[in-house]
Amino acid sequence: MWILKGTVYGGIAFVVFAVFFFISKFGINTTKAISVRTAQALTFHNPWFWTVCVLMIVTGVACARLLAETR
């Protein structure tokens, strides 16, 4: 159960940080648009995107495991 809980925590943390990255890089403005190719280049085609995704999930699982051991 702690593996599932850690994966969910890590996934949520990754999504929050990814959204924060996009907001800080491009801002929230209704007159701006990001092309699909730019979004793909910053996410799916970027190896750092996947590296950070894996690291966030591993960190979430490790934190959930440490919290599970204290019970």
- Residue-wise pLDDT for 14-26, tens only, equals 999 988 988 888 7
Q: What is the CA radius of gyration of the chain?
A: 15
Q: For the chain, which residues make up each domain, given as ranges?
A: 2-69
First to last CA, the chain: 14
pLDDT tens digits, residue range 19-66?
Answer: 898 888 877 776 777 788 988 888 889 899 999 999 999 999 999 888
Per the structure block, which two tokens stand in for 29?
Answer: 């403005």
In the chain, the amino acid numbered 20 is F
pTM: 0.76
